[in-house]
Chain A
């Protein structure tokens, strides 16, 4: 047996392995970007009129992650149906180079809008917008940080006020908690997510000033194990209602609630009831399911603002609670009535839920007196 032959076979084996790896990584990273499964348009539907408008939605999660990615994927499908546009959803993108690569591909293919769903990709949006002036690049956060002061005109930055839902979730948790202790888990530290946890705590305090709010930062939005461990630690300290802003790791919160009967959980981004039917009492819907169609329609109509904050007073609801009826049925009528009052006050802006500009750092909720934002706990 010749050494050269062995060497060639070994090289071939390594080459095949590397190729297989790259293929798998590409599939994993692209989330099937070239798959027709993720590309939807209104052709054949009774929704919006047919249009040549083409949109790509790029996301950190994927269409079955039970969280942020899934809500954007559902929004993409909804946008295709409602507006008639061709909408591609690409999930599982994590790094700037992946967004640059995907954004470049879609822009070169003549897409009108590329929407990037990852909080840290503002600079990528600006970079791509400078390179492709005929495509509008949107980002799910308002611009912040160095180099973002004067973004190109073909950018659109929007912020759907997820903290409205978190505040409502806090109010519900404060009302239904029997122990007076509630837990909140946070995956990563950045202003929008910090605000959600802070506003959850403020929601609790709004209805029950004596309640204890336990907050934990897990620093992981992919692995449910730390989230479950953190939730169990909160349960051990008496928490009987759990909330999480933990991305795809949210399953850990549900699992902890499932394993400890009597503990309730509040999901995030999508209706979590099917995941934990006995533990989930409600889910906070930021509502990318309606936000994406709303933005695409603005794009089609040529009235897409460069910056907009999506909150109360819009044709679509932002940051509301979707209840899991079988569990919510166990909530008393008085508690439901109290919640409805809070819900209405948030919607009408009678309660001014502070945003990331005021409660954008971990623990900022401790510096806010709930009476100053319109809460009347005694009522």
Chain B
């Protein structure tokens, strides 16, 4: 495999956790909730995966447990964001901080140092396609969670743009009065959106453990949740564009450690290369200046009946 192929293949692997989280956040935000606690959901998903994998040895069970942890986070966050109507930015930041602390404490208590190591998922080769010259090993030899993340992209697009749920969710995110007038529960729709979003985000944490890092450490998410938030803005809430956004960050990370094999980058100091993902983040913010969030995203919604005192 050439250096370019290696950078691309590694970049795609590193893209997957960010993509899962971005897809989750995309659903959550489009249904009207701005979940800044995404980093916390991700790290709790990663911790749960490591814990269950360590106890059971089954990546499938570990993945299901991660989904469970995501749903649990959704219940907690939903009670605050949606039911209590707390400030979503403050609550999200506080939740993330708490989750990082909780994961650190629990990992020290529950994960033994000798066996935190998790076997990476095996690489799957797609028949025929993996034999294609040059692109075959790059695109079609990845692990199951990377392929699943890519398959999830059209699924999320279909869910949000071709189903009744998607229509209702987007309405709840843009103009919540519309679904309410149609007799729907805005809070209920947002709960479902948050649950789906947190589940996918937790799968991102699981992907980090099972596919990328192969272990759990308290710092394993390393800000990827917040990067996913940036990816959603960059993608303008379009799942297909989210792939591109996540890939940019994945490639930026992959390039850091391969740069000395690329002639034009060989003499660039390591410290400069380590800045690349963050420079990319700044550029993303500049490029997406003017992006419009879903109209009601981040604003707590009180049903009309409550507002008029019934």
Contacts and interface: CB of A to CB of B under 8 A. Distances in A.
B84 A219 contact: no
Contacts of B271: 217, 219
A255 B120 contact: yes
B105 A28 contact: yes
Contact of B256 (A27, A32, A226): A226
Interface stretch (A60-68, A202-210, A315-323): A60-68
Interface string B253-296: 11011100100000000110010000000000000000000000
A interface, over-half SS: helix
A28 B115 contact: no
Contacts of B213: 223-225, 228, 251-252, 255
A258 interface: yes
A17 B91 contact: yes
A18 B214 CA distance: 32
B96 to A, nearest CB: 9
Contact of A24 (B105, B221, B222, B261): B105
A65 to B, nearest CB: 7
B215 interface: yes
- Chain B interface size, under 10 / 10 to 19 / 20 to 34 / 35 or more: 35 or more
B101 A228 contact: no
Interface in A82-132: 91-92
A20 B219 contact: no
A24 B98 contact: yes
Interface in B66-108: 80, 84-87, 90-91, 94-95, 97-102, 104-105, 107-108
Interface of B: 1, 3, 6, 10, 14, 80, 84-87, 90-91, 94-95, 97-102, 104-105, 107-108, 111-117, 119-120, 208, 212-215, 217-222, 253-254, 256-258, 261, 270-271, 274, 306, 309
Given A62-B108, A63-B108, A252-B213, 7 more contacts: A17-B98, A24-B98, A26-B101, A91-B108, A229-B10, A236-B258, A258-B214
Interface of A: 1, 6, 9-10, 13-14, 17-18, 20-21, 24-29, 31-32, 62-66, 70, 91-92, 216-220, 222-226, 228-230, 232-233, 236-237, 248-249, 251-252, 254-255, 258-259, 270, 274-276
7 contacts: A1-B306, A17-B86, A24-B97, A64-B116, A226-B257, A228-B213, A275-B113
